[in-house]
Amino acid sequence: MAGASGYAGGEILRLLLAHPRFEVGAVTAASSAGERLGDVHPHLVPLADRVLDVTTAPTLSGHDVVFLALPHGHSGALAAQLPESVVVIDCGADFRLESEADWTTFYDTAYAGSWPYGLPELRGPAGSVQRDQLAGATRIAVPGCYPTGVSLALAPGFAAGLLEAEDVVVVAASGTSGAGRSLKPHLLGSEVMGSMSPYGVGGGHRHTPEIEQNLSRAAGEPVTVSFTPTLAPMPRGILATCTARLRSGADRASVRAAWEAAYADEPFVHVLPEGSWPATASVVGSNHVQLQVAVDERLGRVVVVSAIDNLTKGTAGAAVQCANLALGLEETLGLPIAGVAP
Ligand SMILES: NC(=O)c1ccc[n+]([C@@H]2O[C@H](COP(=O)([O-])OP(=O)(O)OC[C@H]3O[C@@H](n4cnc5c(N)ncnc54)[C@H](OP(=O)(O)O)[C@@H]3O)[C@@H](O)[C@H]2O)c1
């Protein structure tokens, strides 16, 4: 586990401790190397006496699976030094984008390429599903947290041909752990508690091209998205409100049927009964995605709300789900579906 001292790394370790088929090997970090894991993540009691190692390829290469949870720009060089037989699951952005132009527009490091995209439930046209790309893969790019919540919210409508490819608008609120663990003044408790604020406004957030890539794949044509993230005074969770224009002929019944059919057999994605609305509190600590879909008949728009835990289905849960698929294990193994409430 590389990046074990971070939020995503800590969540992967929490999930692996409850997984029946994984044993935790090396745990590595950067500035925290040499520290006890128990001092960095006091909640990971069974691993408390492990000492964080420096992140190097030799330390990581003797394992069947390596999870990378590093700041973007650091995964490529490390992964290139790991044997091809090692399953590498990257939680960073480095290998998510298929377009080099998108990468260079939104990121400040060299383009590393793209790996199979780790969102198993992502629908495409003609009934295709991303899961089929992940069985047996030895390199997988775990999606970003916002792209997970937003893409799963809207993909069924694009895959079913019900939505217009333009005028897609998303406003999403995230808990502060989405920004990682390093100290940043605007993430101090005194700044965040009792306040909400937007960031990356005006199309500047790095998850925009990833969301567009996913929805374009679902639609089979280019989709553009206006995406505005906001910071919410909670440690975990993303609530995404996603709206798009309905194509003529699409109505309340066809919309509901498309979403319910897309996720009828999915273990982790559930369309709630009509009248119930997703809440971040319901998915804390779980790999569960809650969705509700409504039609604004006056404006001819669909409104989909999704809730995920950014650290679980939005990162670490997806990473473990992808590892299960890559290794041919049951996809749901070791992954909680029940949240922590209240
Ligand atoms: N947080 C989320 O909700 C979330 C969701 C989806 C994806 N992700 C992605 O997951 C990755 C990790 O995010 P995070 O939230 O866990 O960040 P984080 O809390 O800041 O943790 C970053 C980790 O990377 C290590 N690190 C920093 N610089 C390094 C370097 N030069 N070489 C090796 N290791 C280095 C840190 O070690 P030290 O602490 O010892 O310095 C720490 O273990 C990021 O790419 C992020 O975009 C995060």
Active site residues: 145
Tokens of 90: 């990257």
Above 90 in pLDDT, residue 19?
A: yes
Whether 239 and 114 share a structural domain: no
Whether 30 and 122 share a structural domain: yes
- pLDDT on residue 73: 94
332 within domain boundaries? no
333 within domain boundaries? no
Whether 159 and 296 share a structural domain: yes
Question: What are the pLDDT digits (tens) for 137-182?
Answer: 999 999 999 999 999 999 999 999 999 999 999 999 999 999 999 9
116 within domain boundaries? yes
Cα(6) to centroid(ligand 1), Å: 5
Question: What are the pLDDT digits (tens) for 275-333?
Answer: 999 999 999 999 999 999 999 999 999 999 999 999 999 999 999 999 999 999 999 99
Ligand 1, atom nearest to 55 Cα? 33
- pLDDT on residue 126: 82
Q: What does pTM read for this prediction?
A: 0.98
Cα(71) to centroid(ligand 1), Å: 5
Percent of the chain exceeding pLDDT 70 equals 100
Whether 298 and 318 share a structural domain: no
Whether 84 and 150 share a structural domain: no
Whether 27 and 105 share a structural domain: yes
Tokens of 295: 């039609």
29 within domain boundaries? yes
Q: Which residue, chain included where needed, has tokens 């990581």? A: 60
The string over 81-95, giving b where at least 16 C-beta atoms fall within 10 Å of a residue's C-beta and e elsewhere, is: ebeeebbbbbbbbbb
In this structure, the residues whose C-beta lies within 6 A of any atom of ligand 1 are: 3-9, 29-32, 55, 69-72, 74, 91-93, 144-145, 177-178, 180-182, 310-311, 314-315
Question: What are the pLDDT digits (tens) for 71-112?
Answer: 999 999 999 999 999 999 999 999 999 999 999 999 999 999
Whether 100 and 212 share a structural domain: no
Q: Which residues face 129 on adjacent strands?
A: 123
Contacts of 178 (CB under 8 A, 6+ apart): 145, 146, 238, 310, 314
Cα(30) to centroid(ligand 1), Å: 10
Contacts of 183 (CB under 8 A, 6+ apart): none
- pLDDT on residue 125: 78
pLDDT averaged over the chain?
97
Above 90 in pLDDT, residue 220?
A: yes
251 within domain boundaries? yes
Domain that holds residue 303: 145-308
Whether 44 and 190 share a structural domain: no
341 within domain boundaries? no
Whether 178 and 304 share a structural domain: yes
The CATH number of residue 110's host domain is 3.40.50.720
Whether 14 and 127 share a structural domain: yes
Whether 159 and 269 share a structural domain: yes
Question: What are the pLDDT digits (tens) for 180-215?
Answer: 999 999 899 999 999 999 999 999 999 999 999 999
Whether 290 and 321 share a structural domain: no
